[in-house]
Amino acid sequence: MPSGKGRRLPEVYCIVSRLGCFDLFSKILDEVEKRRAISPALVQPFMRGIMEAPFPAPGRTISIKNFLPGSGTEVIELCRPSDSRLEHVDFECLFSSLSLRLLLRVFASLLLERRVIFTADKLSTLSKCCHAIVALLYPFTWQHTYIPVLPPSMMDIVCTPTPFIVGLLSSSLARLKELPLEEVLVVDLGNSRFLRQMDDEDSILPHKLQAALEHVLERRKELACDVADHPSEPSSLSSVVSEAFVRFFVEIVGHYSLFMGGSDRDEESSASSSSSPTPSSFQREAFRKAVSSKSLRRFLEVFMETQMFAGFVQERELRRQGLKGLFEMRAQDYLDSLPGSENRGVNKFLKGLGHKMKFLSKK
């Protein structure tokens, strides 16, 4: 609260950014709070220095010099991690709110870009669980409506026919039941149950891959203890959960780079006029048929029609060799582990599909 007498409003400092660098922003706000406690006049010069400095590139650190009475000129180092996708992600909140089986059903529904509503008694539970479930989709990005906490005045949004992830307080459930909802999955985080579902959620993912993913997640705490000795791990439990889902996606689409460039379209369709949009160079059918598992091919047939998959391919076509994230490293490791004949023909690309999922803790 600002100093003085009478009616006052609390002061709030807020950082708005399209980048999820929570730890970096938290450090800035800590410095703002320290200066505000001395004098409000010290905040603006500090923030001006922050705003004028270039935002650090992934994995880089910048230094900000600022004068602080009683301390002289201080040098504040702001470090941006090379991979910030797990910052501020609380996977354990998600696991404590949903059983593992239900969590995988929700995950499967999101991969098909269905409409999902989460309900909970607390705003913090909604926010944490929605943020965590979106983080599980990496290296894919949710392309549709995403509102972790939907105000009651905007509840009509859940009647739209387009995909969405929405969080609602449990106090709004009575009104939700009155709305003309189309096919939607309603997830009760407070009681670990589905209030509405399509009844096919357990059959969306390839069975063997789902079983392997479930096996690793059941052992997440044990595996987290195994990697806790690595000082470079920001959060061992988050890393274990993330690795499990990254490995899942490597098994499904890890061979995508073999089909970038060229085209499996016929010559007639490729002979378009120069005024037409540049066609994708991704060989979709060859990519899908390279998988030996029939259940995985069936899943890919549907998954490849989503906006998430289209965005995944488009980003890699635009950036080509520029992407060096965790998924790219894991996918390359997987390709390198295959015999040369499989690497070229890829008819037996997922030969070990039913084997226990290998946990990779190496960064």
pLDDT in tens, 260-294: 875 444 333 434 333 333 456 889 999 999 988 89
pLDDT given for residue 265 in this prediction: 45
Pairwise CA distance, residues 301 & 284, whole Å? 10
pLDDT given for residue 262 in this prediction: 58
- pLDDT beyond 80 at 70: no
For the residues 36-59, what does the mean pLDDT come to?
A: 89
By the 8 A CB rule, do 183 and 115 touch?
yes
By the 8 A CB rule, do 77 and 87 touch?
no
pLDDT given for residue 344 in this prediction: 39
Six token digits for residue 303 = 């998954």
Pairwise CA distance, residues 71 & 69, whole Å? 5
Q: Degrees (nearest 5) of the Cα angle 307, 215, 290?
A: 45
pLDDT given for residue 280 in this prediction: 65
Six token digits for residue 11 = 């002061």
Kindly tell me the sign of the dihedral angle through the C-alpha atoms of 91, 93, 96, 100: negative
Output 357 or 134, whichever has higher pLDDT.
134
Euclidean distance between the first and the last CA atom of the chain, given in angstroms as a whole number: 44
By the 8 A CB rule, do 165 and 308 touch?
no
pLDDT given for residue 204 in this prediction: 94
**Taking the C-alpha atoms of 183, 187, 193 and 195 in order, what is their torsion angle to the nearest 10 degrees?**
-40
Helix (H) or strand (E) holding 21: none
Confidence of residue 148 (pLDDT cuts 50, 70, 90): very high
- pLDDT beyond 90 at 250: yes
pTM of the model: 0.77
In which region does residue 346 sit, left (phi positive, over 0), alpha (psi from -120 to 50) or beta (all else)?
left
Average pLDDT, the chain: 83
Q: What is the pLDDT of residues 112-126, one digit of tens each?
A: 999 999 999 999 999
pLDDT given for residue 272 in this prediction: 39
| CB-count exposure of residue 46 (10 Å: 0-12, 13-18, 19+) | buried
- Quote the percentage of the chain above a pLDDT of 70: 84
Pairwise CA distance, residues 234 & 231, whole Å? 8
Pairwise CA distance, residues 97 & 152, whole Å? 23
pLDDT given for residue 323 in this prediction: 62
Six token digits for residue 137 = 């989709």
- pLDDT beyond 50 at 234: no
CB under 8 Å to 230, separation ≥6 — which residues? Answer: 236, 361
- pLDDT beyond 90 at 90: no
Pairwise CA distance, residues 59 & 143, whole Å? 26
SS3 24: helix
By the 8 A CB rule, do 185 and 115 touch?
yes
* Phi, psi angle pair for 126, to nearest 5°: -60, -50
Pairwise CA distance, residues 141 & 228, whole Å? 28
Residue 225 CA: distances (Å) to CA of 85, 222, 228, 306: 22, 5, 5, 37
Confidence of residue 332 (pLDDT cuts 50, 70, 90): confident
Output 107 or 356, whichever has higher pLDDT.
107
| CB-count exposure of residue 287 (10 Å: 0-12, 13-18, 19+) | buried
